[in-house]
Amino acid sequence: MTIFKKTLVAGSLLLASLGTAHADGCGIEKGTVSILANDFPALHAVVGGAEACAGGGVEFSKNHNKDHKDIMVAALTSDPSEYTTVIVANSTLVTLMNDGLVRPIDDLVEKHGGSLAKNQLITVDGKVMAVAFMANAQHLFYRSDILEAAGVEVPKTYDDVLAAAKAIKDKGLMDYPYIGTFKSGWNLGEEFVNMYMGTGADMFKAGSAELDINNDNGVKTLEMLKSLTEYMNPDYLTFDSNAVQAEWEAGNAALSNLWGSRAGAVLDDEGSTEEIVAGTAFASAPMLGDTPATTLWWDGFAIAANTSDEDAEATFIAMMNGVTTEMANANPDEAVWLIDGYTPGAKAVGVAASAQAGAKPYPMLPYIGALHTAAGAEIVEFLQGSEDAATALADMEAAYNAAAKEAGFLE
């Protein structure tokens, strides 16, 4: 993961050139820039930078929407598309590419993307399809004060996590030392994918959409998820990131594998006590086998296919104005920026450490969504104790096969 490391520690050589390139009105005279994005502070910062290009002949509009995933396909299918750019992640770029809704942007990168680092470019089959600007991953959040009181080290593997949780519980420090985003559906599916990644094995047979999880690795994954639930609040199947953050800030848990993008919110001076904030620290996601049991995510922007070349160019320039080094360094705690010249703060440690320990990116496979959905629904009964791991895996495979067939991935 040297590329990643380089980005995070690289100097701010390009800072000066950036400043001049986008000096007045960011160099666009006319065009339409309309942005569809998720709704969290890091993206507000990026879109805010792009918004500076508004005015004159430039028509600017933005839509920060938590449900952007659900509307983006329809919005980009129309011709001309409703938005000229969408802020995407690993999983959503695939969805758009499946239908050919985003365009290759090699020419724009060459013309206007001089400040981009090579690893910011998402290339598929040799063509640049998106520009990434931030990284995210679920990684270990721990309470150093509680671990110390329990007399345990910072866990490196999930077996360590179980041992630490047991020590904390046995000492009577907490009833439910572990917490995770186990809400059935997307969150639980993500926990499964993360944990399975920890085994180091692939989830699909090479070169096909055929699932390959109904094996020892699958059983190992499920058994570990179930062992964790023994140290979790019994309501765990209703916990999403918001609930986990609230429980953490209330001091009800000491160990969690939570999204890096929550680190800033946990450490800020809202919603918690000084003791809890001071005790909270981050580390790489724990290993299951030899790999951290997590997936690396990136957020970036892609340009709509069904839009004119002029608007595409205007949009690209405006977005470049949003992903500057100044923006990154002005918002160091909102995200782990992939932008050159950004100096990562204390809150970025977990994501960086996970990447360095060899965590894999979330697979950009066209059919991964079907697996994710099947996992989030079918392992619930196993966790509740009403079926065994083999049945859960068989169910998951059957649910996946039916969905993948309907979507045209399997014959």
Q: Which of residues 376-405 bind another protein (CB under 8 A)?
A: 377, 380-381, 384, 386-387, 391, 395, 398-399, 401-403, 405
Q: Does 11 interact with another protein (rule: CB under 8 A)?
A: no
- Residue 387 beta carbon to another protein: minimum distance, rounded to whole angstroms: 7
C-alpha neighbours within 13 Å on the C-beta side of residue 173 = 24
Does 273 help bind another protein (rule: CB under 8 A)? Answer: no
Least Å from the CB of residue 177 to another protein? 15
Cβ neighbour number for residue 46 with a 10 Å cutoff: 30
Q: Decide the pairing of beta strands 30-37 and 57-64.
A: parallel
- Least distance CB 29 / another protein (angstroms): 32
- Is residue 260 part of the contact set for another protein (CB under 8 A)? no
The crossing angle, in degrees rounded to 10, of helices 90-98 and 68-77 is: 30
Stretch that binds another protein, among 30-38, 139-147, 182-190, 269-277 (CB under 8 A): 182-190
- Binding to another protein by residue 185, rule CB under 8 A? yes
Name the segment binding another protein (CB under 8 A); options: 151-159, 177-185, 261-269, 272-280.
Answer: 177-185
Using rule CB under 8 A, residue 15 touches another protein: no
**Shortest spacing between CB 377 and another protein, in angstroms:** 7
Closer to another protein at the Cβ: 308 or 391? 391
Q: State in angstroms the smallest separation of the CB of 132 from another protein.
A: 5
Are the beta carbons of 211 and 397 closer than 8 angstroms?
A: yes
Instruction: Choose between 41 and 361: whose C-beta lies nearer to another protein.
Output: 361
CA angle centred on 344, ends 339 and 345, rounded to 5°: 150
Is 308 a residue that touches another protein (CB under 8 A)? no
49/370 Cα distance (integer angstroms): 35
**120 counts as binding another protein under rule CB under 8 A:** yes
Q: Residue 119 or 157: which CB sits closer to another protein?
A: 119
Q: At what angle do helices 368-378 and 389-406 cross, to 10 degrees?
A: 140
Q: Which of 17, 78, 144, 208 binds another protein (CB under 8 A)?
A: 208
> Under the criterion CB under 8 A, does residue 328 sit at the interface with another protein?
no
Position 281 contacts another protein (CB under 8 A): no
Smaller CB distance to another protein: residue 120 or 245?
A: 120
CA 69 to each of CA 36, 72, 110: distance values in angstroms, whole numbers, following the listed order: 10, 6, 29
* Interface mask toward another protein for 78-117; x: CB under 8 A: ------------xx---x-xxxx-----------------
User: Which of 60, 409 has the CB closer to another protein?
Assistant: 409
Nearest of 9, 304, 362 to residue 186 by alpha carbon: 362
Specify the pairing of strand 127-143 against strand 280-283: antiparallel
CA atoms of 377 and 133, how far apart (whole Å): 32
Give the nearest distance from C-beta 370 to another protein in angstroms. Answer: 4
Calpha distance 194→157 (Å, rounded): 13
- Can you say whether the dihedral through the CA atoms of 303, 134, 90, 245 is positive or negative? negative
Binding of residue 27 to another protein (CB under 8 A): no
Site for another protein in 240-259 (CB under 8 A): 240
* Helix ranges restricted to H, 65-105: 68-77, 90-98
Count of Cβ atoms closer than 10 Å to residue 59 Cβ: 15
Q: Return the residue of 266, 318, 368, 393 that touches another protein, per CB under 8 A.
A: 368
Torsion angle in degrees (nearest 10) through CA of 236, 239, 243, 248: 40
* 205 is a site residue for another protein (CB under 8 A): no
Shorter beta-carbon distance to another protein: residue 61 or 119: 119
Q: Between 20 and 126, name the residue whose CB sits nearer to another protein.
A: 126
Q: Quick check: 207 binds another protein (CB under 8 A)?
A: yes
Residue 369 binds another protein (CB under 8 A): yes
When asked if residue 355 is in the footprint of another protein (CB under 8 A), the reply is yes
Please pick, from the candidates 217, 233, 257, 272, the single residue that binds another protein as defined by CB under 8 A.
233
Count of residues near another protein by CB under 8 A: 72
HEC assignment per residue over 104-148: CCHHHHHHHCCCCCHHHEEEECCEEEEEEEEEEEEEEEEEHHHHH
Distance CA 199, CA 189 (A): 16
